[in-house]
Chain A
Amino acid sequence: MAAGATYTPIATQTLSSNQNTVTFSSISGIYTDLVLIATRKYSNVGTGAENTFIRFNSDSGANYNTTYLINGPGAGLINNANSLYTSAGGNEVVQRFSVDVWNFMNYSNTTTYKTSMLRMHVGTTNMLQEWIGIWNNTSAINRIDICLLYTSDAADE
């Protein structure tokens, strides 16, 4: 889909090697919403899917709620986690990546908790997912960390 003049490019990252965390920092507050489009996969092919986590402003407190829907009736919720849970990335075939669109709504206001949505598809497993996240914090978002596994939080997996 052509983005047109509505979208303003802010930053892009393409990993040159396997990496645990991707960070967007010093995010300006001048925009209305943020949209993050990604294609990603787990580096260990064939070892099983891994959840992906998001933190805002480096907040590792138990301040995140998630609702998710995976392939129809597989709905669930995760409250009071120390990061947003998002989908597992693809891991089956080396060159096949997931297709993700993240929306971060009204991210720079300082009066409401921050909401986000992820729509994600992994073609190799016919996996279609929808994730809703709330960060229970009224601060403006100026940093987004996307992490496959927080090494100090292995129990979350």
Chain B
Amino acid sequence: MNARGDGLVYATGNTGVGYSRIGLIAGGTMSANNFVPGIIDILDYTSTTKNKTTRTIAGSAGQGTSTNNDILFGSSLYFPPTIAAISTIDLNVSGANFAQYSSFALYGIQG
């Protein structure tokens, strides 16, 4: 679900694709120093019996226009033919590259 600063809210989804769509990033109309915060939770990632689920909360607070002000709530399901623990995560942006100074941090939660 994506909510925009002008009050519009819309939802979309993909099924059976070769990736998990996890959110949005700042685009070309954002200022050069303006990056998008986001948190992706990958639940029970070491399970060998369950398909993997993710939850994403992200957003932008860009300058000037409502199209640069978004809040996104997303979730995805990874269901390979053979269930395995996740040992590699590739992050990819469609149609472009991550900009210089983009940063990513992977944390493990022990509980």
Residues of A within 8 A of B (CB): 1-6, 32-33, 65-69, 72-77, 79-80, 103, 105-106, 109, 111-113, 115-117, 119, 130, 132-134, 136, 138
Q: Which residues of A contact B92 (CB under 8 A)?
A: none
Consensus secondary structure, chain A interface: strand
Q: Say yes or no: A67 contacts B5, CB within 8 Å.
A: yes
Query: Are A132 and B103 CB-contacts (below 8 A) given A75-B4, A75-B71, A111-B33?
Result: no
Q: Which residues of B contact A113 (CB under 8 A)?
A: 31, 33-35
Residues of B within 8 A of A (CB): 3-9, 31, 33-39, 57-64, 66, 69-71, 73, 101, 103, 105, 107-111
Residue in contact with A130 in the complex, picked from B59, B62, B63, CB distance below 8 Å: B59
Chain A to chain B contacts (Cβ below 8 Å), 30 pairs: A1-B109, A2-B110, A2-B111, A6-B110, A32-B105, A67-B61, A67-B71, A74-B7, A75-B4, A75-B5, A75-B7, A75-B8, A75-B9, A76-B7, A77-B61, A80-B63, A106-B103, A109-B101, A112-B33, A112-B34, A112-B35, A112-B103, A113-B31, A113-B33, A115-B61, A116-B37, A117-B58, A132-B71, A136-B31, A136-B33
Interchain CA distance A157-B36 in the complex, whole Å: 27
Closest to A137 in B: B33
Interchain CA distance A119-B72 in the complex, whole Å: 12
Closest to B105 in A: A32
What are the 8 tightest A-B residue pairs by CB atom distance, in nearest-first order? A4-B110, A77-B5, A132-B59, A115-B37, A2-B111, A77-B69, A75-B3, A67-B69
